[in-house]
Chains A and B, each alone.
Chain A
Amino acid sequence: MYEHDVIVVGAGGAGLRAAIAAQEEGADVAIVTKLHPVRSHTGAAEGGINAALREGDSWEDHAYDTMKGSDYLADAPAVEALCTESPKETIQLEHWGMAFSRDEDGRVSQRPFGGLSFPRTTYAGAETGHQLLHTMYEQLVKRGIEVYDEWYATRLAVSDDERPEDRTCHGVVAYDIQSGEIAGFRARKGVVLATGGLGQVFDHTTNAVSNTGDGVAMAYRAGVPIEDMEFIQFHPTTLPSTGVLISEGVRGEGGILYNAEGERFMYEHGYANNAGELASRDVVSRAELTEVNEGRGIEDEYVHLDMRHLGEERIIDRLENILHLAEDFEGVDGLDEPMPVKPGQHYAMGGVETDENGETCVAGLYAAGECACASVHGANRLGGNALPELIVFGKRAGQHAAGRDLGTARIETGKRGEYEVGEVDTPVTPGEVTGREPGDVAADGGAAPDGGHEPDGSGARETRSDGGATAELTPDECVERAVTDERTRVDALMSRDGTNHANIRAEVQQSMTRFVNVFREEEGLKQALRDIRDAREAYQDVAVSDPSRTFNTDLIQTIETRNILDIAEAITLGALVRDEFRGAHWRKEHQERKDESWLKHTMLSWNDGTPEVWFRPVILEGEEKAYEPKIRSY
C-alpha cells in the first residue's frame, strides 16, 4: 500500500493545480494518473482563459455573463468564486512563466469570445491549453511532487455507512499499467478526483480517447450524487473522421457553411437570418444536423465549411493551424477545397456534485475540473470558462483536502434535509444487472454493492444488511478491502471466456450519438435507454482476451467501457426527465425554457445500483448580487 496525505487522481490542469496547492499547504501529495501528465487532454484547449484583468472590466461583469450564458442554471456562489479568483490565478500562471501572447506594451493579450461583454479571454496563440498544461507540469517537477504515471485508478475506497453523507473516502485502488500490479493508495487527508471529460460516451467527440468519465463513474457508484448530466455541449465544426476541432475562428474570419446543394443554408433555410454562420454553437449545430436529416448533407453526414474566398494570405496569417488540422487529420487542403465539418460532443457541463470548495458529500472526497459540477456552467458553458475553472477549483480542492479552512460552503451537497424526488418513466429498468454473483464480472469500481463480498470471500457483506450498523473498518482495512475487490474483478475478467468490450462500447456510443445528441426526442431517449440496457446485459459476458499483465490496454478499455455504460445512462436519464429546452438541452416536444418548474439541478444517485433522480434548487443569489433570469439573446 502506498500512503500520502493527499492523493490527486488525474494530471490535467485541475489535477496539477490541486497537487501544487495541497503541497503549498504542507501536505505530502502524490498524483495517480493513467496518462503521463503532459499527455492530458487539457493540452488540446485552443481558445483561452477568461479573467477580468483590465480596466473597464470587472469580475462582476464576468459573473453576469457566466450566469446568463448558463441559462440561469449555474450556482452563484461557485460563479463568484470563479470570477473573483480567475484574475489572480491567471497571473499566477504568468508568474510561473507561461508563454502567453503579448500586447505591444508587454502585457498578456486578451481577445473577444462568444457570450462575453468584454474581450477578457487571455490566450497563448491557439494553443493555450498546451502552454498551461506544460507550465503547470514544470512547477510540479520543480517541487518534486510524486507522480504515479500510467497508473489507472479503478475504485474509490469508501467506508460503507448507509448514507453517502456519512461515508468517508480513505483512498483509491489503482492498477500499474506497465506491470499489472494492483495496489491501494491510502490518503490520510483526502482524495481529489480530476479525471477530466467523458466525451467517449459518444462516437463523435473532440475529446481524447482517454476521456471516458472514469472519475464521475467511480464517484457515482460510491454514492456521490452526480449533477446536470444531461447538459452536453456540442461544437458545430469538428472534422467528421476524427472529431478534431476546427476553431470558431474560421467562421469569425468569414468562413461560410454550405450544404450538398451549394446553398448557404444558415441564411437560405432561415436558421439565423442575422448572425448566419456566427450564431451560437447550439444554433449552428442544430442547423447542420437538420440539413443532413433532410437529405441535404454531403455523404449523408456532414456539411462544408469554406474559407477559400478569404485568400491564401489571410488564411496563412490567421488560420494557419486550421490548414494543418484539415490536412493532417482529414487529408483536405483548405486552400483548395472546402473542409467537411459536423457537430461533435465537446464538453460535459455536469459531473460529480461538489460545493464551491471542491468537496463532495463524502468526507475526504473532492472533485475539480471537467469531471466536477460546482456548478459554474449550468446548462451551457461559455468558451474560455473551463480553463479558469481548472485552476480556481483545482486550487481550492487541493487546499481544502490538505486541511486548510476555506470557510463554510454556501452550496450544499448530498441529500440533506428536504429534496424533491424526480419521476422518470423508463422503458427498461436502469442500473446494474441484478442477481450478480460475488466475484462475477463486477466491473464495478464503487462501494461494493449489497451481496458484495466479505474480506474473507464468503459472500454477503455484513454491514449494510443490518440497517447501517457499520462494522467499523480501519482506514487501512477499507483500502485493503477495495484492493481485494479489485483483484477479484480483474482476475475474473482475465480468466474467463467471453465477448470483447469493443462492440459493446461502439454500440453505446452510436446509440448516444443517434438519440442523445443535439436533438432529443422522447422516443429516441427511451430507445437509448433500451440500447444501454442491452449493452449492460452483454457486458455480463465481457472478457479480456489479452492474457498479459504487461501494458494490457484491453483490460483498461474493458473497465473504461463499464464507466461509459453508467455515464451514458445517467446522461440519458437526465435528458428524459428534463422536459424543457434550456441551454444545450433541446427537446423536440418541449421547445421552451420553463423557469417555473425547472430552475433546479437534476441530481442522480446510484443508490446501490438503482439510479434515483432528485432535484436541488439552483442558487441565483450571490454574496453581493442576485441574478434575475432573463431571455438569453445576444
Chain B
Amino acid sequence: MSTQLPETETQEAEPETEQPSKGDERRAKRRRRAAERERERQAEEAERAREAEDTVQLKVFRYDPEVPEKEKPRFDEFHVPFTKGMTVLDALMYARDTYDSSLTFRHSCRQAICGSDALFVNGRQRLGCKTQIAELEEPIRVEPLPHQEVVKDLVVDMEHFYDQMEAVEPYFQTNSLPEGELDEQRQTRENREKVKMSTRCIWCGACMSSCNIAAGDNQYLGPAAINKAYRFAMDEREGEDIKQQRLEIIEQEHGVWRCQTQFSCTEVCPKDIPLTEHIQELKREAVKNNLKFW
C-alpha cells in the first residue's frame, strides 16, 4: 500500500529502517500473508454474492482527489446479499466491510435522526438509512448529493449549508424572560403545534440539494435556513420586535422572495417538514409587515 504523506517530518520517526531485525522481517511477512488472505476472502465473497440469487446490485459513485485510480470519477459495482428490511445504508456498509474498506460515506445513527447520510439514490435525495432496498429499482445508483462539492466518494462538503443555517440567527431570543430561574416562559399548545414541524429539521441538506434556485444562486438562504427562521419567527415567546428583526433577515435579497414554489424541497425532506408552505407563510408575513409601514 502506498502512503501519501503531506508532512515529511513523520518519516523520521520510522523505526530502524536500515537494518531490519529478524523479528521485523517475520512480522512483515506475517502481515503480507494476512493481507493476502484478506484479498482472497474479499474476492471469494464477491464471487459468492455475484452467483447468489438474492443479491442487490449497487452502482456507487467513486472519487478521491488523492488517489490516482480514483481521480477520475467513476462508478463501482457491488453485489450485496439481500436481507429483509435492508436499507441502502446497510448495503453500503456491507460493501465497505466486505469488499472495499476505502468506500467512504458519512453515517452514524442509522435511524434518520443525525442527518449525516443524505445521498442521491436512483435520482432522488434520500437518507440512506431510511430507504428500503426492496422499494428501489435495480441497479441502485448511489451518488453524493448534487450541487455540493464532493470531498470523496459519497461525502460532500457541508460548509456552505452550515453557513446558510447560521446566517439566520438560529437561536432563541426574547426580551421577556421570567424572573425566577424556575419559572417557565409559558407557551400555548397551539403555538407549540405551529412550530413543531419546523423544529424537526436534522440538517441533512437534502432540501438544499434538490432546490434549483439554490443551485443557481449561491447566496440564496435555502429552504432549511428559512425553515429555521420560521421556527423562531412563529414562536410567540420571542416577541414582536425580535420577529421584526427576523423578518428583515428573511426578506433580504437572497431570502424568501427567491423561492419559486417548486416544492422539490418539500418532496425530498425526510422529516416531512412542509418547507414550501413555511416559506410561503413567511412571504405573507413579510408583506403584512411592509404594509404596516406604508
Contacts and interface: CB of A to CB of B under 8 A. Distances in A.
Given A130-B202, A208-B108, A35 B24 contact: no
A72 to B, nearest CB: 30
A131 B201 CA distance: 10
A102 B189 contact: yes
A491 B14 contact: yes
A499 B1 CA distance: 12
Interface of A: 35-36, 38-41, 43-44, 53, 87-88, 91-92, 94-97, 99-108, 125, 127, 130-131, 134-135, 138-139, 141-142, 178-181, 208-210, 239-245, 325, 328-332, 437-440, 453, 457, 459, 484, 487-488, 491-492, 494-502, 506, 540-541, 543-554, 557
Interface in B80-114: 83-87, 90, 96-98, 101-102, 104-105, 107-114
A491 B3 contact: yes
B184 A551 contact: no
Nearest to B109: A208
A106 B188 CA distance: 5
A208 to B, nearest CB: 4
Top 3 A-B pairs, shortest CB-CB distance: A97-B172, A106-B186, A546-B102
Nearest to B98: A502
A498 B87 contact: no
Contact of A488 (B14, B107, B184): B14
A284 B174 CA distance: 46
A329 B89 CA distance: 10
Nearest to A506: B97
Interface in B37-65: 37-38, 64-65
B187 A106 contact: yes
Contacts of A35: 108, 114, 116
A237 to B, nearest CB: 14
A135 B201 CA distance: 12
B13 A548 contact: no
From B9, B112, B153, B171, name the one whose CB has the most chain A CB atoms within 10 angstroms. B171
B115 interface: yes
A545 B101 contact: yes
B183 to A, nearest CB: 7
Interface stretch (B28-36, B208-216, B277-285): B28-36
Chain A binding surface, main DSSP class = loop
Contacts of B38: 498-500
A332 to B, nearest CB: 7
Interface stretch (B129-137, B250-258, B260-268, B286-294): B129-137
B181 interface: yes
A134 B116 CA distance: 15
Contacts of B203: 36, 38
A547 B102 CA distance: 8
Given A38-B202, A548-B64, A138 B171 contact: yes
Identify the interface centre among A100, A131, A181, A547: most chain B CB within 10 Å of its CB. Answer: A547
Given A43-B114, A244-B111, A497-B32, A107 B64 contact: no
B34 to A, nearest CB: 4
B30 A99 contact: no
Nearest to A178: B151
A41 B108 contact: yes
Interface string B148-188: 00011101001000100010011110100110011111111
B15 A457 contact: yes
B69 to A, nearest CB: 10
B243 interface: no
A430 B192 CA distance: 54
A193 to B, nearest CB: 19
A496 B186 CA distance: 62
Nearest to A494: B3
B66 interface: yes
Contacts of A330: 84-85
Contact of B152 (A41, A108, A551): A551
A507 to B, nearest CB: 12
Given A244-B110, A491-B5, A491-B10, 16 more contacts: A39-B108, A91-B181, A97-B174, A102-B192, A139-B171, A179-B6, A242-B111, A437-B27, A453-B15, A496-B31, A498-B38, A500-B38, A548-B152, A550-B64, A551-B152, A552-B102
A496 B1 contact: yes
Contacts of A96: 171-172
B18 interface: no
Nearest to B31: A498
Nearest to A106: B186
A457 B184 CA distance: 60
A210 B185 CA distance: 36
Contacts of B6: 179-181, 549
B19 interface: no
Interface in B212-235: 232, 235
Contact of B182 (A91, A97, A135, A439): A91
A245 B129 CA distance: 14
Contacts of A549: 4-6, 66
B12 interface: yes
B225 to A, nearest CB: 12
21 contacts: A36-B116, A39-B108, A43-B114, A44-B114, A94-B185, A99-B195, A141-B171, A142-B169, A179-B6, A208-B110, A209-B110, A241-B83, A453-B15, A496-B28, A496-B31, A502-B96, A543-B1, A544-B1, A544-B101, A550-B151, A551-B152
Contacts of A179: 6
A125 B11 CA distance: 54
A499 B38 CA distance: 6
B113 to A, nearest CB: 5
A504 to B, nearest CB: 11
